Amino acid sequence: KREAEPGILEGLNTEQYAAATAEDRAVAVVAGPGTGKTKTLVARAAWLIREKGVKPSEITAVTFTNRAAEEMRARLERELGGRKAVRGMTIGTFHAICLGELEDARVAGPWETAELAGEVLREQGLRSAPGTLLGEVSRRKNGLPGENDIPEEVCGRYDERLHSAGLLDFDDLLLEGLRRARGEKRQSRRFRHLLVDEFQDGNPIQYELALAWNRGGESLFVIGDPDQSIYSFRGADADCFARLGEAFPGLRQVRLVKNYRSTPEILACALPVIEKNPGADRALEPVRESGAAVRLLRTESPLSEGIFVAREIARQVGGVDMRSAGENRGEGTRSFDQFAVLCRTRRQLEALERCLRRDGIPCVTAGREDFLNDRLVRGALAFFQSLVRPADGAAVEAALRLAFSCPPDLAAGAAAVWRGTGGGAEARRLAAAEGYPQVGGLLQWLELTERFAPRAAREKPMHLLREFAQQMHWEGEALEGLLNTAVFHREMAPFLENLTLGREGDVLRGGGGSYEAGYVTLMTLHAAKGLEFPVVFLCGVNRGLIPYESERRKADRAEERRLFYVGMTRARDELLLLAGEDPSEFLADIPPARLELGEAHRRRERPAEQLSLF
């Protein structure tokens, strides 16, 4: 029976309600996109606190991104009437929660791991890129087969160097967390009630972590959708639901079938695509009323895709100053933040971003790796990391080496002195000592440390980084990328942590434009998981891109199909698919009658009867 309760539980349908309030030891909600899984998970946390009187400090919710964690906390605070009601509840990604458990651990920033990998490769006389070694190390730590012929010893050497500097990498964090959780006699009370979103994308270590954390606990609640499993290349294993059934023979399974997100038109295009994959029971019933037809637009080139997207957004928003197409002004009522532009690869994002910016459309792009490959960016980040953690010898050493080109022995010596005295006088003496050819770097480091240290915790990362770059006479596109990412942060320490622990969808890059009306989101299909937008453009639905094929890796067609499905099901009201001259084979799985065909941007219009899918 349902009691009269205000708020989030009241809005749930019968199945969602049953899941949110289940008293079983273990509950798995397995359901398709937009069926309210995440909503149900949040409702359950609220129910535990409000109805069951569970202390927030005895609840942990695991999200896939840090952004999702923040949103969940905000939603719960609204729901339960303020900050205090949620205080003490743990909400975060597996990585962030592990870091919280391992108090004295320090995770190497990506700027440090890349540098270290480069050194190890040089030392071993190998010519591979640092990223290749890092990828290989990560695959091994996750028990995946190697992808290239980097010898075992080289990976081991990297680990040795990392650990001897007192650092963990992203994967170590989970392994250490698991070791800790298993070693504990009694599991910490904060995991008594454990809730996990996007369970289908957990890798085996995360699966073990969830079980170890919740050992001896009261309830485990996991939600997910095997059809949206898109991280098998990182070791995710959608069979985790079956394994959970073995671990908990009394596992309560709940299915949700009503889709509240998308129009029937969108679902009618998305479902036939996923149905080509093996698997049964994909019932997904639209709750929403009929809306606009899904559009498939043919484009001449990636550039014409960008031009079309920019114009279409401007048309729907209305009032944008359209320098090149003034005739389209003032038509719509949407705001910029209602649009997402999704594509398969990061490279496509760059071209799209340029097109939108050129038309004055404010946009924000998710992802980070491009600028982190830059030496200056790494130097700047290492420097501020050392200011944020002055007692951390490895951070100080990294700053000296990366930003001030100090040779390793000098950097190590200076860092040791610095750590011993916590100040500049001794280090200055060391700098003045003879025998070091690069004392200039050391002096500059001291000067800039004295200048920035008192401000690092107070001023905005963007101001600090910009001034630092000026002082160093550094400039370049990558540094601009870093500044455009820093824009989204108020404090340096969380900014650095975001770059270190953030998932793809967490690290945002913006800049330019007037932000008042929000911005269009550009992201890869991977980063879009769990999100929803009123209007979604899916760009580059072409052969070679979807499914994605590269020389190194043959396409995993089933997974690519899931990825495409994830992308399509992000849309609430309107879905626009853009394809070039050689469209993706997946488009052939959409019933043609469900698609409205058109041309995106052409110098010469073609008569409608000449349009066809292939």
Q: Which is nearer to ligand ATP, 258 or 368 (CB)?
A: 258
For 325-458, strand residue ranges (E) read 339-343, 363-366
Closest CA to 148 of 135, 158, 160: 135
Residue 405 CB, shortest distance to ligand ATP, in Å, is 47
Size of the site for Mg ion (CB under 5 A): 3
Closest CA to 465 of 393, 362, 378: 378
> Does the footprint of Mg ion cover residue 302 (CB under 5 A)?
no
Residue 15 CB, shortest distance to ligand ATP, in Å, is 9
Closest CA to 5 of 49, 35, 58: 49
Q: Which stretch binds Mg ion (CB under 5 A): 32-40, 305-313, 429-437, 473-481?
A: 32-40
> Does the footprint of Mg ion cover residue 36 (CB under 5 A)?
no
Residue 72 CB, shortest distance to ligand ATP, in Å, is 11
Q: Scanning residues 237 to 276, which ones bind Mg ion (CB under 5 A)?
A: none
Was 113 annotated as part of a binding site?
no
Binding residue for Mg ion (CB under 5 A) from 38, 40, 90, 214? Answer: 38
Residue 488 site contact among ligand ATP, Mg ion, none (CB < 5 to 8 Å, cut-off depends on kind) = none
- Residue 340 carries which DSSP code? E
Q: State the residue number with the nearest CB to ligand ATP.
A: 36
Residue 251 CB, shortest distance to ligand ATP, in Å, is 19
Q: Which is nearer to ligand ATP, 39 or 509 (CB)?
A: 39
Binding mask 554-593 for Mg ion (x = CB under 5 A): ----------------------------------------
Residues interacting with ligand ATP, by CB under 6 A? 11-13, 16, 31, 33-39, 225, 228, 260-261, 530, 532
Residue 88 site contact among ligand ATP, Mg ion, none (CB < 5 to 8 Å, cut-off depends on kind) = none
Was 32 annotated as part of a binding site?
yes
Q: Is 274 left (phi over 0), alpha (psi -120 to 50) or beta?
A: alpha
Q: Which is nearer to ligand ATP, 75 or 190 (CB)?
A: 75
Calpha distance 294→556 (Å, rounded): 26
Q: Which is nearer to ligand ATP, 34 or 461 (CB)?
A: 34
Calpha distance 32→223 (Å, rounded): 10
Residue 338 site contact among Mg ion, ligand ATP, none (CB < 5 to 8 Å, cut-off depends on kind) = none
Tokens of 87: 């205080």
Residue 39 site contact among ligand ATP, Mg ion, none (CB < 5 to 8 Å, cut-off depends on kind) = ligand ATP
Residue 365 CB, shortest distance to ligand ATP, in Å, is 21
Tokens of 569: 């099901």
Beta bridge partners of 599: 298
Q: Alpha helices, DSSP H only, in 200-319? A: 204-213, 240-247, 264-274, 302-317
Q: Alpha helices, DSSP H only, in 248-372? A: 264-274, 302-317, 346-358, 369-372
Tokens of 309: 């997207």
Was 476 annotated as part of a binding site?
no
Could you tell me the sign of the dihedral formed by the alpha carbons of 223, 226, 227, 231, in that order? positive
Was 31 annotated as part of a binding site?
yes
Was 38 annotated as part of a binding site?
yes
Contact 416, 397 (CB under 8 A): no
Residue 33 site contact among Mg ion, ligand ATP, none (CB < 5 to 8 Å, cut-off depends on kind) = ligand ATP
Residue 11 site contact among Mg ion, ligand ATP, none (CB < 5 to 8 Å, cut-off depends on kind) = ligand ATP
- Residue 592 carries which DSSP code? G
Query: What's the order of all strands across the beta sheet hosting 193-196?
Result: 90-92, 59-62, 193-196, 219-224, 26-30, 252-254
Q: Scanning residues 510 to 539, which ones bind Mg ion (CB under 5 A)?
A: 530
Q: Which helix (H) or strand (E) holds 526?
A: none
Residue 198 CB, shortest distance to ligand ATP, in Å, is 7
Residue 225 CB, shortest distance to ligand ATP, in Å, is 5
Q: Which is nearer to ligand ATP, 13 or 277 (CB)?
A: 13
Closest CA to 48 of 261, 192, 241, 259: 192
Beta bridge partners of 536: 340, 575
Tokens of 157: 């050497």
Calpha distance 498→506 (Å, rounded): 7
Residue 260 CB, shortest distance to ligand ATP, in Å, is 3
Residue 258 CB, shortest distance to ligand ATP, in Å, is 7
Q: How many Cβ atoms sit within 10 Å of the Cβ of residue 187? A: 17
Was 333 annotated as part of a binding site?
no
Q: Which is nearer to ligand ATP, 201 or 359 (CB)?
A: 201
Contact 62, 224 (CB under 8 A): no
Was 278 annotated as part of a binding site?
no
Residues of the binding site for ATP = 31-38
Binding site for Mg ion (CB under 5 A): 37-38, 530
Residues of the binding site = 31-38
